Amino acid sequence: MDKSSGELVTLTPNNNNTVQPVALMRLGVFVP
């Protein structure tokens, strides 16, 4: 999970559009 977080954080500043899908994926991982 830590590795994924690092990638998401790096993509966040690069592409704002990526933040939305990434946030959904992150929430999905936390929900289940």
pLDDT per position as a tens digit, 1-32: 445 555 555 544 445 555 566 667 676 666 65
* Residue 22: per-residue pLDDT: 67
pTM: 0.24
* Residue 1: per-residue pLDDT: 45
* 5: containing domain: 1-32
Number of domains in the chain: 1
* Residue 20: per-residue pLDDT: 62
What CA–CA distance (Å, rounded) separates 31 from 13?
25
Per DSSP, the three-state class of 31 is: coil
* Residue 12: per-residue pLDDT: 47
The CA dihedral of 20, 25, 27, 30, to the nearest 10 degrees, is -160
